[in-house]
């Protein structure tokens, strides 16, 4: 059976953070019951698709999935299991904010089949958490991780953010070390980005907040690589480190061109070469799903974008990709399609090629976006010349 990952979007938050441009909403508690029913209705609509697939992972993202009752999470898992073949070793992950789940909540989630918990720690400094509009304390992160262990979770991840305006490398080092001291199985480190249309972007535009310093952020990324490696965490993707056996199997589906079904408001799917995008607002989504019309649009990407996306995603993996994989996927030689930009990146010290494998160098990991843009521009020009 062809493997399939399932993503379930829970768009609710107690407070939406000022830097966040995800499809997330605060103050919609009155929609939660209808939304939970809509998720089940949408899964019902995919009964035939799920019936022919082995579901290798289910991931609840958001928003804050822990904002809804564990019973709602359990109902979704059970509905997927009803139609699909859930792999015996399937990873079922859920994102949660520290302090938003009690020990009993976590016991119920574990009993429902959730195997992996990701806690949005972000920082271990109270003032930085306040800047990020986070409503938890550093102590709440530690307590949530202890509760997760007591509830039986054997795979727990912490998310951290670096590159805040006026954040020093020393304070970032403190957050890293605090996270490591808690003993999570996985740590994700994301550089703060100023996304258009967010409150943070408006604060930067009016001068009340400084633009994050790119050079300092690069130093922080270098420090994360060194510190986490010394603590026994293996970097397997640009922003992700894990102890052996705790890598995110669900996210690997995205990075390795696997197929996934998105359930929920604004969720995206990629099945049989076609992409779907759901209605975004939770209230509108709930109504659309009840009518059997949750998908807003279906589309296929241009060949140049498909190829550049594949390359960009595979290069996010520290192990990179093999030239043979590329040839199998696209029926073309790597050097015949993107040989020139790859050579430029290798000459610049951003990329290395050895024994048929292509991967970013340590320096290249900090400049992945520049490599991806070069590949896309080259492919678009090449495709345009053929037309």
**CATH code for position 189:** 3.20.20.70
Q: Do 237 and 326 sit in the same domain of this protein?
A: no
Q: Do 168 and 92 sit in the same domain of this protein?
A: yes
Question: According to the model, what pLDDT value does residue 10 have?
Answer: 98
Q: Would you say residue 334 lies in a domain?
A: yes
Q: Do 51 and 172 sit in the same domain of this protein?
A: yes
Q: Which two three-digit tokens encode residue 58?
A: 């289910």
Domain range for residue 245?
Answer: 2-254
Q: Do 95 and 166 sit in the same domain of this protein?
A: yes
Question: Over the chain (387 residues), what is each successive 10-residue block's mean pLDDT?
Answer: 96 94 95 97 97 97 94 96 95 94 93 97 97 95 97 97 96 98 98 94 94 93 98 98 97 97 98 97 97 96 94 97 97 96 97 97 96 94 79
Q: Would you say residue 287 lies in a domain?
A: no
From CA 56, how far away is CA 53, in angstroms rounded?
9
Looking up residue 318, the CATH number of its domain turns out to be 1.10.10.920
Q: Would you say residue 208 lies in a domain?
A: yes
From CA 327, how far away is CA 265, in angstroms rounded?
36
Q: Do 216 and 365 sit in the same domain of this protein?
A: no
Q: Would you say residue 267 lies in a domain?
A: no
CA dist 36 → 33, 43, 65, 191, 263 (Å): 5, 11, 11, 32, 11
Q: Which two three-digit tokens encode residue 111?
A: 């009993």
Question: According to the model, what pLDDT value does residue 387 have?
Answer: 64
Q: Do 370 and 313 sit in the same domain of this protein?
A: yes
Q: Would you say residue 259 lies in a domain?
A: no
Q: Do 249 and 327 sit in the same domain of this protein?
A: no
Q: Do 207 and 335 sit in the same domain of this protein?
A: no
Q: Do 315 and 230 sit in the same domain of this protein?
A: no
Q: Do 244 and 308 sit in the same domain of this protein?
A: no
For the chain, the domain total comes to 2
Q: Which two three-digit tokens encode residue 184?
A: 């999570």
Q: What is the DSSP string of 57-78?
A: EEEEEES-GGGS-HHHHHHHHH
Q: Which two three-digit tokens encode residue 303?
A: 């060949």
Q: Do 186 and 56 sit in the same domain of this protein?
A: yes
Residue at which a domain ends, from 194, 227, 254: 254
Q: Would you say residue 368 lies in a domain?
A: yes
Q: Do 224 and 111 sit in the same domain of this protein?
A: yes
Question: According to the model, what pLDDT value does residue 283 have?
Answer: 97
Q: Which two three-digit tokens encode residue 212?
A: 């994050």
Q: Is 82 exposed, middle or buried (0-12, 13-18, 19+ CB in 10 A)?
A: middle
The single residue listed with the structure tokens 């974008």 is 305
Q: Would you say residue 278 lies in a domain?
A: no
Q: Would you say residue 280 lies in a domain?
A: no
Residue at which a domain ends, from 215, 232, 254: 254
Question: According to the model, what pLDDT value does residue 366 have?
Answer: 94
Residues 371-380 have pLDDT tens digits of 999 999 999 8
Residues 311-323 have pLDDT tens digits of 999 999 999 999 9
Residue at which a domain ends, from 236, 254, 272: 254
pTM exceeds 0.85, yes or no: yes
Q: Which helix (H) or strand (E) holds 209?
A: none
From CA 160, how far away is CA 181, in angstroms rounded?
14
Q: What share of the chain is helix, strand, coil (3-state, %, to 5)?
A: 45, 25, 30
Question: According to the model, what pLDDT value does residue 275 have?
Answer: 97
Question: According to the model, what pLDDT value does residue 269 have?
Answer: 98
141: closest CA among 109, 117, 174, 119?
Answer: 119
From CA 10, how far away is CA 273, in angstroms rounded?
25
């Amino acid at each position: 059976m062809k493997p399939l990952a399932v993503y379930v979007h829970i768009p609710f938050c107690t407070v939406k953070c000022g830097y966040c441009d995800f499809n997330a909403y605060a103050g919609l508690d009155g929609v939660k019951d209808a939304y939970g029913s809509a998720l089940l209705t949408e899964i019902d609509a995919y009964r035939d698709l799920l019936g022919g697939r082995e579901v290798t992972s289910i991931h609840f993202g958001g928003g804050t999935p822990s904002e809804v009752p564990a019973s709602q999470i359990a109902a979704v898992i059970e509905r997927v299991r009803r139609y699909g073949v859930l792999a015996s070793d399937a990873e079922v992950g859920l994102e949660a904010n520290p302090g938003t789940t009690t020990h009993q909540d976590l016991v119920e989630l574990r009993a429902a089949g959730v195997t992996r918990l990701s806690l949005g720690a972000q920082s271990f400094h109270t003032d930085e958490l306040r800047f990020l509009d986070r409503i938890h304390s550093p102590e709440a992160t530690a307590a949530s991780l202890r509760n997760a262990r007591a509830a039986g979770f054997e795979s727990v991840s912490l998310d951290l953010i670096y590159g805040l305006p006026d954040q020093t490398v020393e304070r970032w080092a403190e957050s890293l070390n605090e996270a490591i001291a808690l003993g999570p199985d996985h740590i994700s480190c994301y550089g703060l980005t100023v996304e258009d249309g967010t409150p943070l972007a408006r604060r930067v535009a009016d001068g009340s907040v400084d633009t994050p310093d790119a050079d300092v952020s690069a130093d922080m990324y270098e420090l994360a690589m060194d510190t986490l490696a010394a603590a026994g965490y293996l970097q397997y993707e640009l922003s992700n480190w894990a102890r052996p056996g705790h890598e995110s199997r669900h996210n690997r589906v995205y990075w390795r061109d696997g197929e996934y079904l998105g359930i929920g408001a604004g969720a995206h799917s990629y099945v049989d070469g076609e992409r779907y995008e759901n209605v975004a607002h939770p209230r509108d989504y709930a109504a659309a799903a009840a009518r059997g019309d949750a998908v807003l649009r279906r589309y296929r990407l241009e060949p140049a974008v498909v190829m550049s996306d594949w390359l960009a995603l595979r290069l996010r993996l520290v192990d990179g990709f093999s030239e043979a994989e590329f040839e199998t996927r696209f029926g073309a030689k790597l050097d015949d399609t993107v040989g020139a930009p790859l050579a430029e990146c290798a000459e610049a010290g951003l990329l290395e090629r050895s024994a048929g494998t292509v991967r970013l160098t340590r320096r290249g990991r900090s400049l992945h976006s520049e490599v991806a843009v070069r590949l896309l521009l080259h492919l678009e020009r090449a495709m345009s010349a053929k037309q």
